[in-house]
Chain A
Amino acid sequence: MLTSRKISFLCTVTMGLGLVAAVAQNAGISSGYPTPKNDFTYAEQRGNGLYLRYCVGCHGVLGDGEGENAAYIDPKPRNFTLGQFKCRSTPTGTLPTNEDLIETLKRGITSSNMPSWRPLSDQDREDLVAYVKTFSPRWKTEKPGAVIHIPPKPQVTPQRVKAGQALFHKLECWKCHGVEGRGNGPSADTLQDSQNRPIQAFNFHDESRFKCGTSDQDLYRIFMTGLDGTPMPSFADNVKPDEAWDLVFYLRTLQPMNTTEKQIAKQLGLKPINPEAAPAAPLQPQPEQLQQQTQPQQHTR
Chain B
Amino acid sequence: MTSSSRESFVSTLLLAFLLVPSAKDASAIPAFARKYGLPCSACHEAWPKLNSFGQTFKDNGYQLMNDRDAPVWQNPSYWPMTMRVTPHWHYESQGRQTVDSIPGDKTSPPIEKTINTSGFDLTGIDILTGGTLAKNISFLLVPSIDPGTGTVGFESANIRLDNIHGSAWLNFKFGKEELDLPLSEKRIMTLSNVGGAYELYHFVPVGEPNEFFSFGENQLGVELMGHSLNDHTRYAFSFISSTNGALGLPGGRTYDYYAHVSQGFMAGKLGLQRVGAYGITGFNPTVFLTSAGVPIPGTGRRNRSFYRVGVYGNLYLGRLDFTGVYQRASDNVFIANAVAAGAPLPVGAQGPQWNTGTLEAHFTYSPRLFFIGRYELVRMAKQVLATNPGDLGNTDVVTVGYRYYPFMHSRAGFAWHQEYATMRLKGTSSTGLNQRNSSYFMGFDFAF
Contact = CB atoms under 8 A, between A and B. Distances in A.
B52 A119 contact: yes
A209 to B, nearest CB: 9
A117 B266 CA distance: 15
A140 to B, nearest CB: 26
Contacts of A8: 91, 440
Interface residues of A, number: 45
B263 to A, nearest CB: 15
Nearest to A111: B67
Interface in B41-95: 41-42, 52-53, 55-56, 64-68, 75, 91, 93
A249 to B, nearest CB: 25
B190 to A, nearest CB: 14
B268 A57 contact: no
B39 to A, nearest CB: 5
A99 interface: no
A22 B65 contact: no
A22 B416 contact: yes
B229 A118 contact: yes
Interface in B364-402: 364-369, 402
B366 to A, nearest CB: 3
Interface stretch (A29-37, A194-202, A269-277, A279-287): A29-37
Nearest to B63: A115
A23 B365 CA distance: 9
Given A4-B93, A54-B53, A67-B37, A118 B230 contact: yes
Contact of A121 (B266, B369, B402, B404): B266
Q: Which of A4, A29, A115 counts the most chain B CB atoms within 10 A?
A: A115
Contact of B418 (A15, A23, A29): A15
B42 A114 contact: no
Contact of A26 (B39, B52, B366): B366
Interface residues of B, number: 47
Given A122-B266, A123-B269, A57 B42 contact: yes
A4 B93 CA distance: 9
Interface string B295-332: 00000000000000000000000010000000000000
Q: Which of B118, B231, B409, B418 counts the most chain A CB atoms within 10 A?
A: B418
Contact of B41 (A22, A29, A53): A53
A116 B68 CA distance: 12
A23 B64 CA distance: 33
Nearest to A113: B68
Contacts of A68: 37, 409-410
A26 B53 contact: no
Contacts of B420: 11, 15
A109 B81 CA distance: 27
A23 B41 contact: no
Given A7-B91, A14-B442, A123-B269, A113 B37 contact: yes
A72 B53 contact: no
Given A32-B364, A53-B39, A116-B65, A19 B418 contact: yes
A278 interface: no
B409 to A, nearest CB: 6
B11 to A, nearest CB: 22
Interface in A103-158: 108-123
A296 interface: no
A58 interface: yes
A114 B66 contact: yes
Contact of A119 (B55, B406, B410): B55
B264 to A, nearest CB: 10
A9 to B, nearest CB: 11
Interface string B109-144: 000001010100000000000000000000000000
B53 A57 contact: no
A212 to B, nearest CB: 15
B41 A115 contact: no
Contacts of A166: none
Interface string B16-39: 000000000000000001001111
Q: Which of A26, A57, A117 counts the most chain B CB atoms within 10 A?
A: A57
Nearest to A71: B37
Contacts of B67: 110-112
B272 interface: yes
Given A15-B420, A22-B416, A120-B52, A32 B41 contact: yes
B223 to A, nearest CB: 21
A7 B230 contact: no
A57 B37 CA distance: 6
Contacts of A72: 37, 75
Contacts of A25: 368-369, 404, 406
Contact of A73 (B37, B39, B269, B409): B37
Interface in A1-55: 4, 7-8, 11, 14-15, 18-19, 21-23, 25-26, 29, 31-33, 49, 52-54
Given A4-B116, A15-B420, A116 B39 contact: no
B432 interface: no
B250 interface: no
A122 B420 CA distance: 37
A254 interface: no
A23 B366 CA distance: 10
Given A113-B66, A121-B266, A121-B271, A57 B404 contact: no
Interface string A55-93: 011100000000111001100000000000000000000
A290 B269 CA distance: 54
Interface in B318-367: 319, 364-367
Interface of B: 33, 36-39, 41-42, 52-53, 55-56, 64-68, 75, 91, 93, 114, 116, 118, 229-231, 266, 268-269, 271-272, 319, 364-369, 402, 404, 406, 409-410, 416, 418, 420, 440, 442
25 contacts: A4-B116, A8-B91, A11-B420, A11-B442, A18-B416, A22-B416, A23-B365, A32-B364, A32-B366, A32-B369, A54-B39, A54-B41, A54-B42, A57-B33, A58-B37, A58-B38, A68-B409, A69-B37, A69-B410, A73-B37, A114-B66, A115-B66, A119-B53, A119-B55, A119-B56
Sorted from nearest, which 4 A-B pairs have the closest CB atoms?
A69-B37, A32-B366, A22-B404, A115-B64
Interface of A: 4, 7-8, 11, 14-15, 18-19, 21-23, 25-26, 29, 31-33, 49, 52-54, 56-58, 67-69, 72-73, 108-123
